[in-house]
Amino acid sequence: MRLIVGLGNPGARYERTRHNIGFMAVDAIVRRHALGPFRPRFKGEFTEGTIAGSKIMLLKPQTFMNDSGEAVGAAARFFKLDPGEVAVIHDELDLKEGKLRVKRGGGAAGHNGLRSIDALFANDYWRVRIGIGHPGAKELVLHYVLQNFPAEELDWVRPLLDAVAEAAPLLVADDAPGFMSKVALLTRPAASSEAKEGPR
């Protein structure tokens, strides 16, 4: 995968909301792999560099979530990318908090960012779905996704973002199963405890 996109909304107001976990994941990858600073490009914030010997580009659309496809489509056309070379990291209501799944193609499931990318780029790209849980009723969804993560949820958010960044070389190498397995291993409670305690 040559282009990794994180979905979210621009501006300080949305920085720590559930809907912005895609932005957070891309930021974690950039920090972990010491990639260059973001710069304005393709209606988004763009950077590029090398991860595990592979050239990789990262993009955070700045169009607001509902128009994410404008940025993704512009970057993909410029670099002549096939859908299989693009991975989009986004929040997923239908997954339990802290769970991660990767699949290629599929429906938008009510996610306006994915719907825009499907319409303006393609459908058959990779989707890195990060579970944020569901508030329980459809009418609560908008408020829920635009709410900041409460302090107690950061206990799973931070380790998950660290794991995504650590496992990113597997994603870049098109090893989706390996990427999912490593993230799961790094975020299981026993692994967290062992990391804190150190070797015995």
- The CA distances from residue 156 to 9, 26, 47, 91, in Å, are 21, 17, 27, 14
Other CB atoms within a 10 A radius of the CB of residue 148 amount to 14
Annotated active-site residue 19? The verdict is: yes
CA dist., res. 179 & res. 101, Å (int): 9
Considering 19, 33, 90, 111, which one is annotated as catalytic? 19
Beta strands in 8-159 (DSSP E): 39-41, 44-51, 54-61, 86-92, 100-104, 126-131
Pairing relation of β-strands 126-131 and 100-104?
A: antiparallel
Residue 199, beta-bridge partner list: none
**Which residues have a catalytic role annotated?**
19
